[in-house]
A = this chain, B = another copy of it.
Amino acid sequence: MNAAIEDENASNYSTARYRTPDGAPADIVIFTITSSSRNQTKKSLPIRELQVLLIQRKKWPFEGCWALPGGFCNEDESVYECAKRELEEETGVGEIHLEYFNVYSEPGRDPRGWMISHAFFALVNESRLINRKAADDASDVRLFPVSEALKLPLAFDHLKILQDAVERVRDRMLTTTIAKQFLPEEFTISELYQVIETVVPDFEEKNFIRKITSTQSRKGILEEAIDGSGERKMSNRYSQRSAQLYRFTDSQPKLSIYG
């Protein structure tokens, strides 16, 4: 490096001359899909619903309001690490799909000061939230159906964040294989279809099973589950006739509007 020819260098640089943010929180939209069985007497597909985890604030500002879980970043972590830390605190588990989707920085969005919030969404399999739900049963944290959450007077600009998260997760549900986050390792085509439908209400594909299993251009995304002896694995969890089990591969199709 050359000698400094400017008026600043490491020893005299100071950030104190400028107004700086008062905090960089990460807020997390934690989605899960709940299942409840539709019929006790016969086997049938469950009723599924997209839910979001909210916490009730105990402090000023927005005391008493429901809000997205989150917290402030520390200096020694990235915002992704911060979100991951908060997510683990909230759910008790790691290894969860966590994806950054937007920044919220409108002046005045937080009465505490100049807060630039980084918004993530997380997709958690219902089974992994059960312990937590029991522990917090009567507490200030609970799952809401997304349709209800969107009608609540959420704290800060969290309604906007939630709206954007829903839009984003719907997009990702159709353009990536994140559906796997809501499914067991091995699943039937009907289960997959139902999960997609749950997140994207107007999803409809005729002859879905054919397209997903035998269309050349899409065949790569699923593979048949095979047991130890090379037989195809079947399940009759939800039906009389047993259905072929599938699993996601690692491949993601590339999409294009031009071809």
Which residues of A come within 8 Å of B, CB atoms? 1-2, 4-10, 13, 15, 18-24, 58-61, 63-64, 72-80, 100, 102-103, 105-107, 111-114, 116, 118, 174-177, 196, 203, 205, 208, 211-212, 218, 221, 252-259
Contacts and interface: CB of A to CB of B under 8 A. Distances in A.
Copies in the complex: 2
B258 A212 contact: yes
Given A13-B112, A75-B107, A205-B258, 10 more contacts: A7-B59, A18-B72, A21-B23, A76-B107, A80-B105, A103-B118, A174-B255, A196-B258, A208-B259, A212-B258
A21 B21 contact: yes
Contacts of A77: 107
Contact of A15 (B6, B23, B60, B252): B23
A20 B21 contact: yes
A197 B19 CA distance: 44
A111 to B, nearest CB: 7
A60 B258 contact: no
